[in-house]
């Protein structure tokens, strides 16, 4: 029996592989199967493909190709940036201080907590305002003489809020003018949700490290990249084969790297990209407008202006989020209650808690994230199917 077509509106969790990306990857599964570290012809062919992907990504980031390192995804990139940097700074001695925010992905929060638990570093978790924005006055206040790293996400994966990364980068740059090299503050950005919609030029953002994952930008799962500014001290997390200039050992995932490079190349046409962003934003705005008009007791999470184009995050009073997701799934519509990485948790979203959403409301959250292949008809289907589901759940709920 043929699979029923799913209306996929969970693009913040993952995106489908673009057909053009898959076509570019395909030869490296079979015809060009060499190990990129081998010196024979098959290996050199694979090595050339890796180098070409590095050049493509470097062009998108505005950096040097040798500042691009390949990983298994943004989680590894985040861990490498945070744990690796703090490890690399051990040469200067002393306990280090890290600043991050309360609404980061667990790929940032957990390494920071681990460093604090092991008494390697002190960590400040900055609060955010009700829109989910880090306010620079609180960041400035948190900086100490021993502050070594600021790690913030570009776009929040749950509520879509865009942090003022370039502004924060300039602030850190000014602070560093009064510091010696061994006391420099490094700036890492988790840009996982950003590349399809925002400028990721590292020189404009003033960052020292930046993480991405291929599967969020219509590339394959299991591959990501880390920008690491030349001269940034870093202790590797994975040891073995000395690949990637001893920063990250392990056999190159050639087909995945080729896919990531092609996914990034598809973002390089600025005219097409701008039109696509506008199309998605218009669909998103229409969705928010219609849902707020048709359903009472609904709030939109996050900042309405400083928001990535594809994200709509709601809380519905008197309706449980997981039930909403399951009932929409029965209608063939795929959405999420929040981050796919924490979907097994019974705790309310730490992001929604940080912006002041009460626990009973946070459990009624729904995240809708549009993408490259989302159509107006699919958005209309959600607008049509959601109101009766909310009505039914509220009729069954003890929370009136």
The residues assigned a catalytic role are 341
Tokens at residue 40, please? 């024979």
Burial class (CB in 10 A: 0-12, 13-18, 19+), 169: buried
Is residue 361 within 8 A of residue 179, CB to CB? The reply is no
CA distances 167 to 108, 141, 143, 187, Å, are 21, 16, 16, 12
Tokens at residue 389, please? 């589901």
Query: Quick check: helix, strand or coil at residue 150?
Result: strand
Give the CA angle between residues 45, 47, 52 to the nearest 5°: 95
Cα distance between residue 68 and residue 51, in whole Å: 10
Is residue 121 within 8 A of residue 86, CB to CB? The reply is yes
Cα distance between residue 306 and residue 295, in whole Å: 24
User: Residues with Cβ < 8 Å from 317, sequence gap 6 or more?
Assistant: 297, 298, 361, 364, 399
Closest among 235, 207, 214, 202 to 83, alpha carbons compared: 235
Give the CA angle between residues 373, 379, 384 to the nearest 5°: 150
Cα distance between residue 104 and residue 341, in whole Å: 12
Cα distance between residue 239 and residue 163, in whole Å: 34
Within 149-269, where are the H helices?
A: 165-176, 202-205, 254-265
Tokens at residue 386, please? 């959601």
Is residue 234 within 8 A of residue 88, CB to CB? The reply is yes
Cα distance between residue 281 and residue 309, in whole Å: 5
Tokens at residue 133, please? 């924005």
Closest among 347, 355, 394 to 158, alpha carbons compared: 355
């Amino acid at each position: 029996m043929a699979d029923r077509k799913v209306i996929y509106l969970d693009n913040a969790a993952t995106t489908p592989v673009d057909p053009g990306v898959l076509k570019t990857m395909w030869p490296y599964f079979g015809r060009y199967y060499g190990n990129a570290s081998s010196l024979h012809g098959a290996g050199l062919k694979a090595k050339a493909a890796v180098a070409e992907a590095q050049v493509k990504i470097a062009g998108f980031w505005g950096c040097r190709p040798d500042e691009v390192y390949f990983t298994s995804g943004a989680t590894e990139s985040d861990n490498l940036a945070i744990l690796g940097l703090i490890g690399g700074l051990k040469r200067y001695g002393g306990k280090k201080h890290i600043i991050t925010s309360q609404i980061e992905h667990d790929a940032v929060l957990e390494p920071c907590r681990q460093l604090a638990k092991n008494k390697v570093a002190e960590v400040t978790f900055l609060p955010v305002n009700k829109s989910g924005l880090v306010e620079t006055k609180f960041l400035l206040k948190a900086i100490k003489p021993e502050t070594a790293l600021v790690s913030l996400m570009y776009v929040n994966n749950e509520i879509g809020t865009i942090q003022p990364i370039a502004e924060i980068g300039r602030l850190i740059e000014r602070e560093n003018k009064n510091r010696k090299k061994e006391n420099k503050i490094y700036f890492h950005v988790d840009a996982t949700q950003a590349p399809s919609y925002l400028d990721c030029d590292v020189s404009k953002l003033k960052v020292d490290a930046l993480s991405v994952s291929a599967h969020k930008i219509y590339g394959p799962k299991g591959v990501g990249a880390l920008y690491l500014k030349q001269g940034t001290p870093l202790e590797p997390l994975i040891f073995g084969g000395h690949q990637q200039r001893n920063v990250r050992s392990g056999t190159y995932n050639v087909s995945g790297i080729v896919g990531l490079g092609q996914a990034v190349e598809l973002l390089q046409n600025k005219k097409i990209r701008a039109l696509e962003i506008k199309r998605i934003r218009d669909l998103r705005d229409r969705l928010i407008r219609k849902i707020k008009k048709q359903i009472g007791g609904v709030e939109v999470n996050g900042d309405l202006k400083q928001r990535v184009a594809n994200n709509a995050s709601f809380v519905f009073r008197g309706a449980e989020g997981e039930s909403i997701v399951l009932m929409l799934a029965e209608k063939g519509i795929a959405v999420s209650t929040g981050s796919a990485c924490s979907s097994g948790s019974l705790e309310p979203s730490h992001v929604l808690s940080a912006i002041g959403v009460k626990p009973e409301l946070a459990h009624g959250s729904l995240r809708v994230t549009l993408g490259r292949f989302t159509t107006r008809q699919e958005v209309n289907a959600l607008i049509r199917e959601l109101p009766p589901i909310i009505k039914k759940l509220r009729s069954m709920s003890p929370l009136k």
